[in-house]
Amino acid sequence: MNNYQYELIATLQYRVKNLKAQVDAFRNGSKYQQMDAQYKSLLHTEESRIHKLEVELSKAHAQTIDVRNKWWNTIEDIYKDHQKELAAKNARISALEKRIILVEQQRDAALDKVAEQRHELYEVKTELEEEKGKNLKLMAQINRDYENSSKPSSQSPNHKKISNSREKSGKHPGGQPGHKGHGRKKQAVTEPVIMLTPPEEVLEDPDFKKTGKIIRKQMVNLRFFLEVNEYAAEVYYNSKTGERRHAQFPEGYINDVNYGGSVKALAFILNNECCVSIDKTIKLIADLTSGKLNISKGMVNGLSREFSMKTDKEKKELFASLMKKPVLHTDNTNARSNGNSRFVFIVAAPDGTAQYYFRENKGHAGVKGTPVDLNQSAIFIHDHDTTFYNYGSDHQECIAHILRYCKDSIQNEPDRKWNKKMYELLREMIHYRNGIDENQGFDEKTVSEFEERYDSILEEARKEYEYILPSKYYRDGFNLYSRMKEYRSNHLLFLHDLRVPHNNNMAERLLRAYKRKQHQVMSFRSDASIDYLCQSMSILLSLKQDSESSIYDSVSKIFDRQKAGRST
């Protein structure tokens, strides 16, 4: 047996001995007595502790009741104070509610009054805008003249003197020192030359010798005289047949007195080319012939018809020439015939070849039969008459008109910026176009930059008119923007084709010649009179381009023709 087992057995023996002692204590009751005494001692201790706790609890309960009573008293006081404050607040709220109701009533009354005043203000502002619009429209109409519209200068009430922008040089007007000058042309002498007698002091003084130099001075005058040729033919009578016969007179000798081409040409040119009235034409011819030649009004009035009938060949040649032109100017103007409204069309080439056409109506009926209708390969230059867009191969609008419309927009829409920029751009384009060397042609880069600026200005115009809408009384600026956007290529064609000018001045100048005649006549008596005048003006225009002979001689020869056609 080892030490571990020995210690274990010893420990167990002690525990068994201890347990037997405890069992014996329980058997003889000593343990119970001991436990009872301990219990009673513990119970007494616990009862004392419980009593103390009960006393403390009682005191705490009493304190709790006292605190609760004090709390309830405090709460009651607070509640009473709160009720007083609440009653005061309720009274104040009630007063404020009454005051709010009163203020709301006053506010509603004020809002109603403000709404009424606002409505009145709106009506006043509306009326003011209406009056401003009407005033703008009237001012635009009043301020329109030859500088900012298509109105001719003769119809502009505020015709202004055209300012001279050149700088003063300080030189005297006229020819400058060293300039050769342009003297009056000497004429062939028709009378014997009159040699003036030398002064007496020259004849008496032997020191004066002839130099061989002769100073000549002429006096030129006009002299008119009648050249009258008369043919006579004896009349023969047949006693058997009763027939009377005489020699045949030359062609043109129809009446007892007939007028030759020189007389007719003078009256015709004065009346139609110089726009002298028939009465003044007759009086002038009578005065030039010392009252011997007094032609009738009917004869002068019929000269256009006679001239037109004798120039059929020239008119056909002129028409054929216009049909071959690649670029043509065209325009029309109003005419008056026996109180009715009529129209005169012009078709002209840049070289000055042109024809006038009388028409009863505008539009397609007016264009019918002219080179505008038949020359489908030509480029037409016009003033935005939409009828012309149905003809030809391409179109160029008159930029001179666009500049005037831009100026009109600048005057009547000063708050817009696009119109000023477009005005300057168009002037730059024209200046560039006028300075182009025809041998070198256009610079594509420069033209492209012009087009980009053109588009950007139109875009700026679009934004301006979207931000501030155009006035219903003045929409010309907006209409110009829309037109320049829609017909962009027709405004810029002159930057791509050297044959195309930038304006329609050729047609307008030629129509002005007819307008001068219209103002002189006031109103023609028949449509045929205007038609014959247009045909005659076309031939006169072509005769002016013939530098070989004067227009007077050419017209005289035409009137001397006995049959229609060109004399050889």
The length of the chain in residues reads: 568
| Predicted confidence (pLDDT) per residue in 173-214, tens digit | 777 787 777 778 888 998 899 998 888 888 888 888 888 899
Whether the pLDDT of residue 567 is over 60: the answer is no
Q: Which residues pair with 336 in a beta bridge?
A: 341
Is residue 275 within 8 A of residue 520, CB to CB? The reply is yes
Q: Identify the pLDDT of residue 565.
A: 44
At 568, the pLDDT band (50, 70, 90 cuts) reads very low
Across the chain, what does the average pLDDT equal? 87
**388 in Cβ contact with 397 (< 8 Å):** no
Alpha-carbon distance values, 95 to 84, 88, 495 (Å): 16, 10, 84
The Cα-based distances of 173 to 168, 176, 177, 184 in angstroms read 11, 8, 11, 19
How is residue 215 annotated by DSSP?
Answer: -
If DSSP states are collapsed to H, E and C, what string results for 17-40? Answer: HHHHHHHHHHHHCHHHHHHHHHHH
Q: For the chain, give percent helix, strand, coil, nearest 5.
A: 60, 5, 35
- pLDDT at position 566 over 60: no
What is the Cα–Cα distance from 393 to 479, expressed in whole angstroms? 25
Q: Among 248-252, 354-358, 480-484, which is the least confidently predicted range? A: 248-252
Report which of residues 143 and 333 the model is more confident about. 333
- Please give the pLDDT value at position 401: 92
- Cβ–Cβ under 8 Å, residues 314 and 328: no
Give the pLDDT mean for 108-124.
Answer: 84
The pLDDT confidence band at residue 536, using thresholds 50, 70 and 90, is very high
Residue with more model confidence, 402 or 224: 402
Tell me the pLDDT tens digit for each residue of 491-527: 999 999 999 999 999 999 999 999 999 888 878 889 9
Query: What are the two backbone dihedrals, phi and then psi, of residue 402, each rounded to the nearest 5 degrees?
Result: -60, -40
- Cα dihedral 237, 238, 241, 242, rounded to 10, equals 20
Domain ranges of the chain: 13-131, 303-559
Which are the contacts of 565, defined by CB distance < 8 A and separation ≥ 6? 310, 312, 313
The residue among 354 and 178 whose pLDDT is bigger is 354
